[in-house]
């Protein structure tokens, strides 16, 4: 019986990922990051622009995460909720200002730490591998806590393999990071679009009418 409780809760969590909208939005954010790192590499090393871009990265992450979250909710409101119902999750309910500040500060500190460690070590070659493991861990966590979301297992494997691949490829770090984000972003958009198409085919808009 306890197993049934766990499975029901997993099914409810699964609902968030059912339409693929989250993957499309996160994929879009990763492509923006890919463009950012490509620009970073393209700028002349003598100018101060790369330094400004380093600090700009924290803002891109913070604004990107906030914008992506907002975008997901807007699309879900127009596509998912009218078809299969509205659900508000505990993570969505972060409405207090201190909680938001804490989350965004954590992201900012994480990015700045990456930059500072990279400058201290003198190389960013290991960053794609680290990010690959980190994002792979998140994808694997989603796979483990939801029901039958095997595609997240593939996301995790691709993230780790691509991260390590680009780290040892010998490419300049910004290119390695850029290609890692590009590959993962395109993969997520592709998977998400496929899931969204399937979801729309399986769940046409119900006829207008009240709940009861």
Partner 1 sequence: MNDALRSLTDLDRVIHEPARLLILTILSGVVRADFLFLQRETGLTKGNLSAHLSRLEESGYIKIEKTFKGKLPLTVCKLTIAGQKALTKYRQQVQEFMKKTSQPN
For partner 1, the binding residue among 59, 81, 110, 154 (CB under 8 A) is: 81
- Name the residue nearer to partner 1 (CB basis): 7 or 52: 7
CB neighbour list of residue 171: distance below 8 Å, 6 or more residues apart: 179
Asked if residue 75 binds partner 1 (CB under 8 A), the reply is: no
Contact present, 23 and 191 (Cβ < 8 Å): yes
Q: Which is nearer to partner 1, 170 or 210 (CB)?
A: 210
- Does residue 13 touch partner 1 according to CB under 8 A? yes
Residue 59 or 202 having the CB closest to partner 1: 202
Angle value at C-alpha 118, between 114 and 121, nearest 5 degrees:
140
Q: Tell me the window of 35-43, 61-69, 90-98, 119-127 that interacts with partner 1 (CB under 8 A).
A: 90-98
Nearest C-alpha neighbor of 176 from the set 30, 29, 38, 55:
38
How many residues touch partner 1 under the rule CB under 8 A: the total is 26
Tell whether residue 207 is a contact of partner 1 (CB under 8 A).
Answer: no
Q: Which residue has the tokens 């380093």?
A: 54
Residues 6+ apart with CB under 8 A from 87: 12, 15, 16
Task: Please report whether residue 211 would count as binding partner 1 according to CB under 8 A.
Answer: yes
- Cβ contact 157:136 at 8 Å: yes
Q: How far apart are CA 3 and CA 175, in angstroms?
A: 46
Among 35, 55, 85, 154, binds partner 1 (CB under 8 A): 85
The only residue of 44, 90, 97, 98 in contact with partner 1, by rule CB under 8 A = 90
Q: Is 89 in the site for partner 1 (CB under 8 A)?
A: yes
- Minimum distance from CB of 71 to partner 1 (Å)? 20
Pick 90 or 150: Cβ nearer partner 1: 90
Compute the least distance from the CB of residue 193 to partner 1, in Å: 23
Question: In Å, how far are 15, 16, 56 from 86, measured between CA atoms?
Answer: 10, 10, 36
CB 122 → partner 1: shortest distance, Å? 47
Task: Tell me how far apart the alpha carbons of residues 69 and 32 are, in angstroms, rounded to a whole number.
Answer: 15
């Amino acid at each position: 019986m306890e197993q049934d409780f766990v499975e029901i809760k997993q099914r409810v969590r699964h609902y968030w990922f059912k339409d693929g909208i989250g993957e499309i939005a996160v994929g879009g954010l990763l492509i923006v990051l890919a463009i950012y790192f490509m620009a970073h590499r393209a700028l002349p090393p003598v100018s101060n622009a790369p330094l400004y871009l380093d600090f700009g990265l924290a803002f891109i992450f913070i604004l990107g995460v906030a914008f992506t979250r907002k975008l997901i909710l807007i699309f879900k409101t127009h596509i998912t909720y009218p078809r299969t119902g509205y659900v508000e999750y505990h993570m969505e309910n972060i409405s207090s200002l201190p909680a938001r500040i804490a989350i965004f500060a954590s992201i900012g500190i994480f990015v700045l730490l990456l930059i500072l460690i990279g400058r201290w070590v003198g190389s960013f070659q290991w960053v794609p591998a680290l990010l690959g493991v980190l994002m792979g861990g998140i994808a694997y966590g989603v796979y483990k806590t939801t029901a039958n979301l095997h595609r997240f297992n593939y996301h995790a494997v691709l993230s780790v393999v691509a991260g390590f691949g680009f780290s040892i490829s010998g490419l300049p770090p910004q290119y390695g990071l850029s290609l890692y984000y590009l590959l993962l972003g395109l993969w997520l958009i592709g998977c998400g679009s496929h899931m969204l198409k399937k979801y729309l085919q399986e769940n046409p808009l119900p006829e207008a009418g009240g709940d009861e």
